[in-house]
Every structure is written in C-alpha cells, then in structure tokens.
Amino acid sequence: MRDERALLERYLRDRGLKMTRARETVLTAFLGLESHVSVEAVIEAARRLDPGVGQATVFRTVKLLVDAGLAREACHDDGTRLFEHAYNHAHHDHLTCIRCGAIVEFIDTDIERAQEAVYRRYGFESSGHRLELYGVCPACAAEDTD
C-alpha cells in the first residue's frame, strides 16, 4: 500500500490537492477489496474504517484513484459501474454471465493481436482498451437443462 499511497500523494500534489485523512481511508478501503467492486462497496468498506466518511467524498476519491492510475473501471453488467485495482495489475479482459453476474477475467493473445491489427488498420495509436464479453456461464446453462 505504500507505493499506492505515494502514487496518489504525488498525483494530488501535482494538482494542488492534499492527501486528506478521508482520501487515505478511501484508498485503504478500496485496496482492501478484491475483484470488481461498486462505489457502494467502497463506501461500506470506508465507513467500517471511519464511520464519518461521506458518500460524496468516496465518489470523488474513486474518480481520483482512476485518474491517478490506481483503479480502472471494469464491467457494467447491470448498469452499475464497477472498479478494480489497476496499479501493478496486468491487463485482462472480462467474460460476464448475464444471469448470475459471475465475472471471469481472461487474457487471450489472439484477441490482443487482433485488436492491435485494428489499431494499425485505422491508423490509431493504442492507448488501451477494455473488452467485455457477455453470455451464460456453465452453471446457469446447466440449470436450463435440469
């Protein structure tokens, strides 16, 4: 967490902002959560650490975490914005079950190569991407056959 805190402090300082106790609480709460989390989950975790942390502070701080490269937006399975750790976490894509919401993270070199080819074909310089595939997971599909 020391690296993440230093990165956020530097990001804030470069923009004339300060590392407040509330921002540090939100950072700690977010880093303590794994997988794909909603802002509401971060609010709950932050309030376990400090019941006085406000909802608006959490929303603003999560945006700062994204802007600083510590978090990234993940899946939008039901319209809910989910976030995941970004700093020191390898790029991956997502496969989401449309029934139960299960999320599988995967890396596929063929897909990565195809995306790079699309960038080249259209003359774009790559700055990143997010791929979300939707379907029915094996457990939900098995329920259909029962």
Same domain flag for 97 and 80 = no
Q: SS3 for 116?
A: helix
Query: Looking at this protein, which amino acid is placed at residue 98?
Result: I
Q: What residues make up the domain containing 22?
A: 2-85
Same domain flag for 119 and 72 = no
Model confidence over 37-81: pLDDT tens digits? 889 999 999 999 999 999 999 999 999 999 998 888 876 656 678
pLDDT computed for residue 69 by the predictor? 86
Total of domains in the chain: 2
pLDDT computed for residue 112 by the predictor? 85
Same domain flag for 81 and 26 = yes
Nearest-angstrom CA–CA distance, 133 and 37 = 18
pLDDT computed for residue 127 by the predictor? 75
Same domain flag for 7 and 76 = yes
Model confidence over 1-19: pLDDT tens digits? 688 899 999 999 999 999 9
Taking the whole predicted model, whether its pTM rises above 0.85 is answered as no
Structure tokens that stand for 107 in this block: 């890396």
Q: What is the mean pLDDT of the chain?
A: 87
**CATH number of the structural domain spanning residue 128:** 3.30.1490.190
Same domain flag for 69 and 112 = no
Same domain flag for 81 and 121 = no
**CATH number of the structural domain spanning residue 58:** 1.10.10.10
Structure tokens that stand for 74 in this block: 């993940």
